[in-house]
């Protein structure tokens, strides 16, 4: 319970609600530990002039840019007027995408992936769907199927 409450406490408006008929010793200890930790955290915040606030992630902002990926790819096609090699452009974008993912720039890689797909659609190139995952099952000693185990 303490770990779950600690996780909820990291959220600015996090709350933990306990349901019980009787206040057990475990619940009392849990409440004492959390009250102690909360007191220490408030004291630390006051001593270091820290005001708890939510975080803003630039990832969320950059993901909104992916909505424009289709229009950007269409603009590339329109601007060139068909005077370029689509397959070569797709290869270049794929190499940029791989480089971005290797550099852990996943938002940029996702944007490039979307541009590649839009170029492929615009050029009439069939876009392959990712392969479906297959799960192997095997029957254990209990006679029940177990997920993820190799079949015999």
pLDDT digits (tens, 9 = 90+) for 63-120: 555 556 556 656 666 665 555 677 888 888 889 998 888 888 888 888 888 888 888 8
9 in any annotated domain:
yes
Domain count along the chain: 2
If asked whether residues 31 and 71 sit together in one domain, one would say: no
Residues 66 and 102 in one domain: yes
Q: 0.75 exceeded by the pTM?
A: no
DSSP code per residue over 54-90 = ----HHHHHHHHGGGHHHHHHHHHHHHTT-S-HHHHH
Q: Which domain holds residue 11?
A: 2-47
């Amino acid at each position: 319970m303490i770990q779950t409450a600690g996780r909820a406490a990291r959220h600015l408006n996090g709350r933990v609600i306990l349901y019980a008929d009787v206040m057990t010793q475990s619940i009392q200890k849990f409440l004492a530990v959390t009250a102690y930790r909360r007191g220490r955290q408030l004291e630390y915040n006051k001593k270091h002039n820290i005001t708890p606030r939510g975080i803003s992630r630039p990832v969320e902002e950059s993901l909104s840019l992916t909505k424009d990926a289709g229009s950007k790819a269409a603009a590339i096609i329109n601007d060139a007027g068909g005077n370029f090699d689509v397959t070569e452009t797709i290869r270049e974008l794929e190499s940029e995408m791989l480089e971005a993912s290797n550099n852990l720039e996943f938002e940029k890689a996702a944007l490039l992936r979307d541009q590649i797909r839009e170029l492929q659609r615009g050029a009439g190139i069939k876009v392959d769907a990712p392969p479906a995952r297959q799960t192997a099952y095997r029957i254990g000693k209990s006679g029940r199927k177990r997920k993820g185990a190799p079949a015999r």
